[in-house]
Amino acid sequence: MKVNAITAGLVLPILFIAGIFISSAVGYWKTESSKNPTKFTTGIFEGEADPADIRGSYSFSDLEKAFNIPVDTLAKAFGFSNSENPGEVKLKEFEETYGIIGDFEIGTSSMKLFVALYKGLPYEPDEDTAIPQPGWNILNKEGATDKETLETYSERIVSLEGLEIFTETVEHSEVSEETTIKGKTLFSDLLDWGLSGEQIEEAMGMVMGAPGDSVRDFCSENGIGFSTVKEPLQELLDKM
């Protein structure tokens, strides 16, 4: 059967529109990229979102929805806490903001690794993938990955000091009050205030306690004078 030009001109657009409608209905037609990472389909993690599928176009808000990690936590981990709209920060901005630091790089892969360790999910990072110091501190306090496994990534830690694009502006007196070591100060407080684990242990002359331990209680349990530890630690904080 022959189809004349007029009939073809009417039928083809209808078929095209119908094809789009059907494809959209079954999930094949997408006008924009999905912000939902693929999920594990087998094993103990079946049904969980796969960190390996995180992309540079994802924002912190996208990750919060996909992995149930608060935007504030993600922003703090990567130095964007004081961004005007941290939820809108996209991972592709990491390379422009930080990029290569020493032998490592803060990029999209860094977020993949952070999310994996925070949620206790599998992920094999590139050899040059870095973990920002603030992110490392959070992983030690809140992450689902066990400490022994987490420690295998300790050599990837990089400091963001002097590199953060959104720095907090506060009066000196406020900083001094906030970062003054007291009897109730925890090791996690020292980490949150910017000290690295290496700095703390060097000042103490020994391995530090767990993040949730009080510095004073730890000293008491180990027969160390609190003041002998407090002074060198406070000096480090005052220089920051």
What is the per-residue pLDDT across 70-94, written as a single tens digit (0 to 9) for each?
999 999 999 998 888 999 999 988 8
Using CA atoms, how far residue 1 sits from 4, 6, 12, 14, in Å, is 10, 15, 16, 19
Strand-pairing partners, residue 132, are: 158
User: From CA 197, how far away is CA 199, in angstroms rounded?
Assistant: 5
Distance CA 161, CA 164 (A): 7
Boundary residue ending a domain (101, 126, 158)? 158
In this structure, the answer to whether residues 129 and 215 fall within a common structural domain is no
How far does Cα 37 stand from its chain's mean position? 16
Rounded Cα gap, residues 212 and 224, in angstroms: 18
* 63 lies in the same domain as 136: yes
Residue 166 lies in a domain: no
Which pLDDT value is given to residue 14? 58
| Domain encompassing residue 191 | 172-238
pLDDT of residue 164: 46
DSSP letter assigned to residue 68: -
64 and 102 assigned to the same domain = yes
The reply to whether 71 and 127 lie within a common domain is: yes
Helical (H) or strand (E) element with 233: helix 226-238
Looking at the structure, do residues 83 and 111 belong to the same domain, yes or no? yes
Q: Of 134, 148, 82, whose CA–CA distance to 106 is shortest?
A: 134
Does 120 lie in the same domain as 70? yes
Q: In this structure, are 99 and 122 located in the same domain?
A: yes
Share of the chain above pLDDT 70, in %: 78
CB 54 within 8 A of CB 110: no
User: Which domain-ending residue is among 108, 136, 158?
Assistant: 158
pLDDT at 9: 52
**Phi, psi (rounded to 5 degrees) for 167:** -100, 145
In a domain, 206, yes or no: yes
CA angle 45, 142, 171 (to 5 degrees): 145
Q: Are residues 70 and 96 in the same domain?
A: yes
Q: What's the number of domains the chain is made of?
A: 2
- Torsions phi, psi of 160, nearest 5? -100, 5
Predicted confidence at residue 74, as pLDDT, reads 96
Return the pLDDT at 137. Answer: 93
